[in-house]
Structure 1
């Protein structure tokens, strides 16, 4: 009986080992399929913007994705997360703070409030030292859902009128926001830090003549820097 139980136990261990090997192989394949074989800092940046061109819209939480097994490989954010982890150091610094999870959560929030955003990479240049600077345009249209999220008092009878005029000026307007990111790489061409800046002031001034209205928009979730303005 003991021999039989031991045999069953060994069979279970073999099955578990096979599953673990399969999981690691699939994970290795996923990462290798998104990270350039001959990795260079410039290639990393170009591939990064290819993968994140339409934002980051995971179904699972960022925490779960960062610790994911292949069980989450069908999640829209799985490959993006695998790539991001592969090309950054664990304590990478972005505007939102330190760590992969903080950076990806910032991506998730920006993408949530700019659901129709497209990021068009314009050019990539080598900067001072081991840095790479990427220049892009973020293109998005202000939707009714975005306005209700940014200005919840639109639903209030007492405060709604205060925001209604501003909302009418913004609704269905397309914004082209010039932006740049400066990436710092280490000797292994992994991203150590990334600092991004988005110039929303210029397109807003073209649309809104009132400095007060511009200030209200810049302090709302419509502003790309809203979620990470205190980070980094």
Structure 2
């Protein structure tokens, strides 16, 4: 989709310019509140299963030595300032660079670790035809994922058996229903959600049966996010 790629490129370019002062402030606070680099990089699976390096603001203690890939709210690895930027998804903003150079899109399935590629079977692999996104329908539904996992006896098992499998279903729905208007609605929904704390608005879900009455009324005041 050339229009989507053009939209991503222009939006990422403008976003980096407009948000550059914020990047400087966040970078300064990361360096002054904890030891370690400003950015965190990690190999992720991209379009057609091609690996790329995602870039984020570092939100955890550097060299913590914990290989656990599942993060829960209150995780001791997360710094105090890191908890703040994770809460409002500010840590994801450097990925605009990944969007600019074509490795990611503004909207799409979140890029998983390479190990998760083995878990995709059959039709689910169609998701890999999409560029991974900074935000997306599954990201919005599980915006409070860390809070959900905090209450599980076995967060890693729950993440795979419940959350990951549900995300795959949601992302496959997005694959079949995607268009520029849907992407715009998802972007607005992401900005809208980020302006509230998780206690004020725990989730925004895109399918009508899954959305609470309270959330639906709040969202309707600004825009509709029903599938087009």
TM-score interval (norm. to shorter): under 0.3
TM-score of the superposition, structure 2-length normalised? 0.28
Higher-Rg structure is: 1
Q: Going by fraction, where is helix more abundant, 1 or 2? A: 2
TM-score of the superposition, structure 1-length normalised? 0.28
Q: Going by fraction, where is strand more abundant, 1 or 2? A: 1
